[in-house]
C-alpha cells in the first residue's frame, strides 16, 4: 500500500506555516495536528524541525516525547540532526524514524554508524535534488541554496548501500510550485536502489499523488501545504489514488 504522509515544519516546538483546519484549539501545536492527521487517515507524519538555535535538540526531544505519547501512527523527525548522539536521543524519546540530510552528505559514514546501531529501518536519508541543465540531478543542501556537486542518483545509491532504510526525495525544482512531483527523478532513483522512496515536492492536484506512485513508482507521497491549507484532505487524496488504481489504506 502506498503511504500518504503530511509534513509539518516545526520551529521552537511550534508548527510554522499555519495549518488551516476548522476547530483546532491550537493551530501551532504539533501534537494536536498530528492526532488530527491520524484521525483523517494519514499513514505517517513527518516533522521537519527548522529551529536554528542551540535549544534545538531539547525542543526536538520534547516534540518526540509528546507525539509518541499521543499519536498512534509512526512519525519521523528530521532537520538539524548532526551526530549519532542526536539520532539516539530522538529515537529514545519515541520517534520511529529519523531523517538526516546535510550531515549525511558531509559525512557519509554517519549513515553506516546509525544503521548499525539503530537498524536501517529507522534511518531515512533526505535528498534535495535539482535538475542539471545537461541532464541528471544534483544534490543541494540548505533548502536548495548550496550545491554539492554530487549526482543525486549516485548519492541515493551510496546512501542505501551504507544502510539508509528509506530515502525522502525532494525535487527542489518542483517544491512549492504545485506542478507535480518530478517522476523522472523518482523513477531514476527507484531503479538504482532497493529501499522504499518517499516522493516530495510539487503536489498541487489530486492526480499528482497517483502519478508519483505510478510513474515515479514511489512507495509513499509527502506533501505539506495542500494538506495544511485545506486544499485536499488525506481522504480525498486516498480516494483519488484508489480510483487511479493505486493501493492505499482506507
Residues 221-250 that bind other proteins (CB under 8 A): 249
Instruction: Pick the binder of other proteins from 6, 165, 180, 201 (CB under 8 A).
Output: 165
User: Which of 9, 38, 49, 96 is an active site residue?
Assistant: 9
Annotated active-site residue 173? The verdict is: no
59 binds other proteins (CB under 8 A): no
Nearer CB in complex with other proteins: 43/182: 43
Which C-beta is closer to other proteins: that of 97 or that of 174?
97
CA distance 34 to 124: 19
Interacting span for other proteins (CB under 8 A) from 26-34, 87-95, 170-178, 229-237 = 87-95
Q: Between 64 and 172, whose beta carbon lies closer to other proteins?
A: 64
**118, 137, 155, 181: which one contacts other proteins (CB under 8 A)?**
118
d(CA 228, CA 1): 23
- Give the gyration radius of the chain's Cα atoms: 17
Q: Which residues of 52-62 are buried (b: 16+ CB within 10 A; e: fewer)?
A: eeeebbebbbe
The answer to the question of residue 38 lying near other proteins (CB under 8 A) is yes
Has 215 been annotated as catalytic? no
Shortest Cβ distance from residue 189 to other proteins (Å)? Answer: 12
> Quick one: DSSP state of residue 90?
H
Site for other proteins contains 209 (CB under 8 A):
no
- Considering Cα of 121, then 176, then 227, then 14, what sign does the dihedral take? positive
Q: Which of 53, 134, 194, 245 binds other proteins (CB under 8 A)?
A: 194
Measured in whole angstroms, how far is the alpha carbon of residue 70 from the centre of its chain?
Answer: 20
Contact status: 3 vs other proteins (CB under 8 A): yes
Residues in the chain: 250
Nearest CA to 78 out of 200, 234, 213 is that of 200
The interface mask with other proteins, positions 166-185, x = CB under 8 A, is x-------------------
Please count the other Cβ atoms lying within 10 Å of the Cβ belonging to residue 71: 21
Contact yes or no for 101/78 (Cβ under 8 A):
yes
Residue closer to other proteins by CB (options 87, 139) is 87
Q: Which of 29, 59, 74, 239 binds other proteins (CB under 8 A)?
A: 74
> Cell numbers at residue 142, please?
540548505
The CB-of-93 to other proteins minimum distance in angstroms stands at 8
- Whether 167 contacts 184, CB under 8 Å: no
CA gap 67, 238 in Å, rounded: 24
Report the C-alpha gap between 227 and 27 in whole angstroms.
Answer: 13
Question: Per rule CB under 8 A, is residue 73 in the interface with other proteins?
Answer: yes
Residue ranges that bind other proteins, judged by CB under 8 A = 1-3, 38, 43, 65, 68-70, 72-74, 91-97, 116-122, 165-166, 194-196, 219-220, 249
Catalytic site positions: 9, 128
Amino acid at each position: 500500500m502506498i503511504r500518504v504522509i503530511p509534513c509539518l515544519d516545526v520551529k521552537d516546538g511550534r508548527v510554522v506555516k499555519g495549518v488551516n483546519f476548522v476547530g483546532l484549539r491550537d493551530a501551532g501545536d504539533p501534537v494536536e495536528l498530528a492526532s488530527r492527521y491520524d484521525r483523517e487517515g494519514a499513514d505517517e507524519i513527518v516533522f521537519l524541525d527548522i529551529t536554528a538555535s542551540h535549544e534545538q535538540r531539547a525542543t526536538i526531544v520534547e516534540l518526540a516525547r509528546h507525539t509518541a505519547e499521543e499519536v498512534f501512527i509512526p512519525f519521523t523527525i528530521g532537520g538539524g540532526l548532526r551526530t549519532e548522539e542526536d539520532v539516539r536521543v530522538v529515537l529514545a524519546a519515541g520517534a520511529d524514524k529519523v531523517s538526516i540530510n546535510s550531515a549525511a552528505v558531509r559525512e557519509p559514514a554517519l549513515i553506516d554508524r546509525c544503521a548499525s546501531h539503530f537498524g536501517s529501518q529507522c534511518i531515512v536519508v533526505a535528498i534535495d535534488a535539482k535538475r542539471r541543465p545537461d541532464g541528471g540531478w544534483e544534490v543541494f543542501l540548505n533548502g536548495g541554496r548550496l550545491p554539492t556537486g554530487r549526482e543525486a542518483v549516485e548519492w541515493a545509491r551510496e546512501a542505501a548501500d551504507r544502510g539508509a532504510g528509506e530515502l525522502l526525495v525532494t525535487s527542489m525544482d518542483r517544491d512549492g510550485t504545485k506542478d507535480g512531483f518530478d517522476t523522472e527523478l523518482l523513477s531514476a532513483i527507484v531503479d538504482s536502489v532497493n529501499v522504499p522512496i518517499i516522493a516530495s515536492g510539487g503536489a498541487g492536484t489530486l492526480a499528482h499523488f497517483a502519478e508519483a506512485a505510478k510513474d515515479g513508482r514511489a512507495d509513499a507521497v509527502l506533501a505539506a501545504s495542500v494538506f495544511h491549507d485545506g486544499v485536499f484532505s488525506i481522504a480525498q487524496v486516498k480516494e483519488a489514488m484508489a480510483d487511479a488504481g493505486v493501493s492505499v489504506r482506507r
